[in-house]
Amino acid sequence: MLQYTIRRLIGMIPIIFLISVVVFSLAKAMPGDALSGKIDPLNSDPAYIEEMREKMGLNDPIHVQYVRWMSGVVKGDFGDSFVHKREVMELVGDRLPNTIILGVSALLITYCLAFLMGRFSGRYAYSMGDYLISGFNYLALAIPSFVAALVAIYIFSINLGWVPATGSIGSGVEPGTIDYFLSKAKHTILPALVLGSLATASYTQFLRNDMIESSRKDYVRTARAKGTKESTIYNKHILRNSIIPIVTLLGFDIASIFGGAIITETIFTYPGIGYLFVESVNARDYSVMMAIAMMLTVLTLVGNLIADLLYGLVDPRIRLS
């Protein structure tokens, strides 16, 4: 397995290289740069814009720019953000905790809901409850997240006033106190709920179908024949087997936890990676945009590897070599 892992890791290098070329060219293909937005006689002048373009090397040939960027990236230096006037890594590091909190809570919500719904649907397949659940799931799949976010804010924040509509923390709380954590939780719950409950469809249906399939297997018939209680059959024998493939999905979720939720974060003004990403695209803040894209690339590749490894661990029939 170690050998397999190493081989996979080496195989990633050319992929990362190719993706870096794509990310860089796409960034450069966008019209404008970080200085286009500076056309404003109140705050700058053409001479300054020209001077800064020269200073930042935006006038150099494209391959020179790429080599300069890439040689920094290899050393873990993604350069400075022009818009934020600080190092990209610091900036991303600032936003990561928020995104991880949101990502993990959303994932937990997804897993819990999917587990409960999937278990019910699998056991009582083709019942009314099953149809209701799949109805909900497909509805959630179909609703765009910005619509769900706005409706949720309108109901829970503006009309009911239960939770704040924007931000990741309330005003006037000291870091480290109980109030701080409560405020954090209060601000995270709504975006997490929106994110989490919209993503349940695939997990639920996955679990449901696997349970239905398992329930037709011979060992289940044997158990029934022995007179085992129906609830024991489902909760002990079928569920355990069916949950295995779900666990492997965790690997694929890693990138989504760190990548943040672009639309949801923006609407909730929740300062995470997704929000930062949109902001940088709009401002043509290349260094930030490319750094986030590269980070997600690596995480997706690593996530895939982890998923494969987990698969080998939980299912002895699969040999990784």
Q: Does 135 bind another protein (CB under 8 A)?
A: yes
Q: Does 299 bind another protein (CB under 8 A)?
A: no
Binding residues with another protein: total (CB under 8 A):
58
118 exposure class (CB count in 10 Å sphere: 0-12, 13-18, 19+): buried
- 267 in Cβ contact with 146 (< 8 Å): yes
Kindly state the smallest distance separating residue 76's Cβ from another protein, in Å. 18
Among 15, 16, 22, 30, binds another protein (CB under 8 A): 30
Question: Within positions 162 to 191, which residues make up the interface with another protein, using CB under 8 A?
Answer: 164-169, 171-172
Amino acid at position 34, single letter: A
Structure tokens at 197: 């409950």
Q: Does 158 bind another protein (CB under 8 A)?
A: yes
Question: Within positions 241 to 270, which residues make up the interface with another protein, using CB under 8 A?
Answer: 266-270
Q: Does 36 bind another protein (CB under 8 A)?
A: yes
3-state class of 87 per DSSP?
Answer: strand
User: How does 77-107 read in b/e, with b if 16+ C-beta sit within 10 Å?
Assistant: ebbbbbbbeebbbebbeebbebbebbbebbb
Give 271-280 contacts, CB < 8 A, sequence gap 24+: 271/95, 271/98, 271/167, 271/168, 272/95, 272/96, 272/98, 272/99, 272/102, 272/168, 273/92, 273/95, 273/96, 273/99, 274/99, 275/95, 276/91, 276/92, 276/95, 279/83, 280/81, 280/83
Q: Does 271 bind another protein (CB under 8 A)?
A: yes
- 103 in Cβ contact with 260 (< 8 Å): yes
Among 159, 216, 218, 319, binds another protein (CB under 8 A): 159
Binding mask 277-296 for another protein (x = CB under 8 A): --x----x------------
- 187 in Cβ contact with 270 (< 8 Å): yes
Question: Within positions 75 to 114, which residues make up the interface with another protein, using CB under 8 A?
Answer: 83-87, 94-95
Among 161, 176, 227, 316, binds another protein (CB under 8 A): 161
Q: Does 60 bind another protein (CB under 8 A)?
A: no
Among 52, 212, 250, 310, binds another protein (CB under 8 A): 52
Q: Does 119 bind another protein (CB under 8 A)?
A: no
Q: Does 38 bind another protein (CB under 8 A)?
A: yes
Binding positions for another protein, rule: CB under 8 A: 30-33, 36-48, 52, 55, 83-87, 94-95, 128, 131-132, 135-136, 139, 150, 153-155, 157-159, 161, 164-169, 171-172, 266-271, 275-276, 279, 284
